[in-house]
Amino acid sequence: MFEINQWIKIKAPATVANMVCGFDILGFAVNNPYDTMEMRRVERVDASIKIINIDNYNLPTDPEKNVAGAALIALIEAYEEQVQLGNPKATIQVNQLAFEVKINKLIMPGSGVGSSAASSAGAVVGANHLLGNLFTKDDLVRFAMNGEKVASGVKHADNIAPCIFGGVTLVRSIFPLEVIALPSPILHVTIVHPQIEVKTSDARSILKQNVQLKDAIKQWGNIAGLVAGLMKGDYDLIGRSLEDVIIEPIRSILIPGFDELKLACKAAGALGGGISGSGPSIFFLSKEQTTAIAVEQEMKKLYTRIGLPHHTYVTSINGAGVEIELN
């Protein structure tokens, strides 16, 4: 257990949800970008959570409206239950439990690479560390999903799960929650964030509630192929399986230049890729770093030509998830 007032530093990675064919079930963490946070347990004076933003995004600091805050509220409630159940590891009286969290958001909110998930996940992993790791990773995913609810109105885990577990994760079931870590070979990731706004709620509302059975069959063939490809380390199979016949044809309309970009990135040697989460960021996977860099050039070329401000990242899959370091 950590001493009161002792700060820890937290590094919370960006994540890519859906992984093309795995809508609402697959996701992976990347090494860059990431948020940094600092966190400590303090003497409780009034509120149990104090959020301090040290970036310029002016996100809400009211814990109930802040994604990290909402996630921590869920964790504190669960801690209280453990105290009441007499868990010998839960030794702090809840009326004495309070956290201070400084958030330095380096993952731009609304970019589609799990900015809200990084805050929620970072906060609960940090709090768990300060409380002597009382909770499992599955527990932490459940708490952090309350942050996603604040951010997008929906309790989804496809960014939270890879952010906490690292690597590639499968959310086999959301109620009850079941997260499965999938082994993967080294994969280089190129991300472009074209600076348009795509609200997650809009990206959800344009989806059709029904899909054709024949398309669903193609999709689950690809999902099975992708899982098998990752576990076998078969890059060609991964590439062939990275096709989405259900969500991408609808959502890609919201992203300028998407079809052209996809052709260019695949021509440059990418295995495949698509929309990161609900967008607007787009990601492509490559076997080699040199390919990932060539893919970045194609992304820059296209968005420079059509005059859309953009950021790019060349990175790789992050196997660790949220990391803690002592201050």
Residues within the interface to its own copies (CB under 8 A): 22-26, 170-173, 178, 180, 182, 207-214, 216-225, 227-228, 231-232, 237, 240-241, 246
Q: Provide the edge-to-edge strand list for the sheet that holds 272-275.
A: 272-275, 282-286, 188-194, 310-316
61 assigned to active site: no
CB of 203 to its own copies, least distance (A): 14
Separation in Å, CA 287 to CA 13, 150, 187, 189: 21, 36, 6, 9
CB of 24 to its own copies, least distance (A): 5
Choosing from 148, 248, 296, 298, which is the catalytic residue?
148
- Output the six-digit token pair for 312: 């790019």
| Residues with Cβ within 8 Å of residue 46, at least 6 apart in sequence | none
- Pick the closer one to its own copies by CB: 40 or 251: 251
- Pick the closer one to its own copies by CB: 4 or 216: 216
Q: What are phi and psi of 32, to 5 degrees?
A: -155, 135
CB of 204 to its own copies, least distance (A): 10
Can you tell me the distance from the alpha carbon of 14 to that of 16, in angstroms, rounded to the nearest whole number? 7
Element (H, E) at 303: helix 289-305
Pairing of strands 99-104, 49-53: parallel
- Pick the closer one to its own copies by CB: 22 or 277: 22
CB of 299 to its own copies, least distance (A): 28
The full length of the chain comes to 327
- Pick the closer one to its own copies by CB: 42 or 237: 237
Q: Yes or no: say if 20 and 262 are a contact pair by the CB < 8 Å rule.
A: no
Residue type for position 215: D
CB of 169 to its own copies, least distance (A): 10
200 assigned to active site: yes
Choosing from 15, 169, 190, 200, which is the catalytic residue?
200
* Residue 88 DSSP symbol: T
- Pick the closer one to its own copies by CB: 23 or 34: 23
- Pick the closer one to its own copies by CB: 123 or 174: 174
Separation in Å, CA 249 to CA 66, 169, 208, 254: 33, 24, 11, 10
Q: In Å, how far from its chain's centre is CA 286?
A: 20
Three-class DSSP category at 182:
strand
The catalytic residues are 148, 200
